[in-house]
Amino acid sequence: MNKSSWQSRRRRGRRSHQQNPWFRLRDSDDRSNSQAAQPAQDSGSRDDESPSTSSGTAGASSVPELPGFYFDPEKKRYFRLLPGHNNCNPLTKESIRQKEMESKRLRLLEEEDKQKKIARMGFNASAMLRKSQLGFLNVSNYCRLAHELRLSCMERKKVQIRSLDPSALASDRFNLILADTNSDRLFTVNDVKVGGSKYGIINLQSLKTPALKVFMHENLYFTNRKVNSVCWASLNHLDSHILLCLMGLAETPGCATLLPASLFVNSHPAGIDRPGMLCSFRIPGAWSCAWSLNIKANNCFSTGLSRRVLLTNVVTGHRQSFGTSSDVLAQQFALMTPLLFNGCRSGEIFAIDLRCGNQGKGWKATRLFHDSAVTSVRIVQDEQCLMASDMAGKIKLWDLRTTKCIRQYKGHVNEYAYLPLHVHEEEGILMAVGQDCYTRIWSLHDAHLLRTIPSPYPASKADIPSVAFSSRLGGSRGAPGLLMAVGQDLYCYSYS
């Protein structure tokens, strides 16, 4: 064998070695390991001079990123990312993200149990009292900051729910909770294990510390249709009915149902019990609903449909229809002015003047615009401002006189879910549950994020918490606190 043929075969072998992807990956790993070993040896000689501040996250960010592979900072090695087919226990980016979110949730829960949060840096009880005595804080600011401090000290406790059917409590999952005006009753929508939904009313008058015990009153009204929207309705008296918007199923069309609270045994206020009648209105495709307490639309409710708004009088049956360019996902009536505010899937927010008819275009009083679908609207500050949230996670405070955004509340997480806002002007707070299952509380005054509460359950699309806050949980003599329903459990975050 001559020398030239031997050299040509050697060059072909080296070329095939470089073209093989397995050899290229192995060579890159060897080079990265050899490069990582040299700094490790150099840093080992300097350990005595300065303390180490490296962490698992920093180590993961310093290693090179390989397409199709994931570096585990705990095991310090690469793992192949598998596509989402039927492989046994595949490692995907979604599973990695869920694992990181779960570890973060457990860490925050442990921190909440061990130490108390501070709503604002530098503000504690003694510092606020000293500033008030020296005249640096007026009475209104002192009360607001004191309330924020109490919010940061709320402690989580599990509420014991009693019922005539204890076996159902162990299987039915909370889907939605809604407190009435006086916060002494809690309407619940529960997903039944066999399919469908079941309704109940929890009496909050027995919600007292230290023994947090409540009783759930149920009835036989059962539906297998999805509940799109719900609100309390004042037909016979204050909060005498519950207005439900139900989606259609197969050949059964959608409808809006007025469910009397008197159907739930002993759940109504004493002394004002009247026989209630279940009213159902054939309204297909209702996305949202709102009950009117305005004298200009007495005994009326509104439903947001696909490309129109339907205003219905319960007593006379008279209806008015207003055409829109998009689906109406959120609604609320004003109390002092005859206006109905609507939020659309297109991002438009407009008000309907109830004094005008549905003919022409003069019934549109105000128009605002978001960049994404609007999921909730709330009228605040003596009906001079409007709070709105959308599916891009934006929460904005609009001035209705100038039609400009004057404040934005950052931190909310939403991509496509229908998530409501909870505004409490008396306490000066805004509350919302994100799609990441975290409950966030902001200050209405300056949009400062006061507290982020992790869910007691692992984060998932099926276990987004539903919350209700009140300064008087259980009635006029109740204490301030937050109720959170998730899974089969009900939790109370009460002031310490």
Question: DSSP string covering 178-216, please?
Answer: EE-TTSSEEEEEEE-TTSSEEEEEEE-TTB-SSSBEEEE
Whether 92 is covered by a domain: the verdict is no
Residue 29: strand, helix, or coil: helix
Tell me what pLDDT residue 89 has. Answer: 52
Per-residue pLDDT at 44: 39
Q: Is residue 28 part of a domain?
A: no
Range of 195's domain? 125-494
Answer whether residue 134 is part of any domain.
yes
pLDDT for res 120 = 66
The token pair that represents 122 in the structure block:
């530098």
Name the stretches of the chain with pLDDT < 50. 1, 3, 6, 10, 14-60, 86, 267, 270-274
- pTM of structure: 0.77
pLDDT at 170 (0 to 100):
73
Q: What is the pLDDT of residue 437?
A: 94
State the Cα–Cα distance between residues 418 and 420, nearest whole angstrom. Answer: 7
DSSP for 128-163 reads: HHHHHHTTSS-HHHHHHHHHHHHHHT-EEEEEEEE-
Q: Where are the alpha helices (DSSP H) in 219-289?
A: none
Residue 251 resides in a domain:
yes
Q: How high is the pLDDT of residue 302?
A: 96
Question: Do the domain assignments include residue 4?
Answer: no
Rounded Cα gap, residues 182 and 415, in angstroms: 33
Q: By three-state DSSP, how is residue 38 classified? A: helix
Would 108 be classed as within a structural domain?
no
Residue type, 438: Y
pLDDT of residue 72: 78
Cβ atoms of residues 190 and 223 within 8 Å:
no
Q: What is the pLDDT of residue 123?
A: 62
In which residue are the tokens 């975050």 written?
Answer: 493
Mean pLDDT computed over every residue of the chain: 80
We report the CATH number of the domain holding residue 255 as 2.130.10.10
Q: How many structural domains is the chain composed of?
A: 1
User: Under a CB-based contact definition with an 8 Å cutoff, are residues 197 and 191 in contact?
Assistant: yes
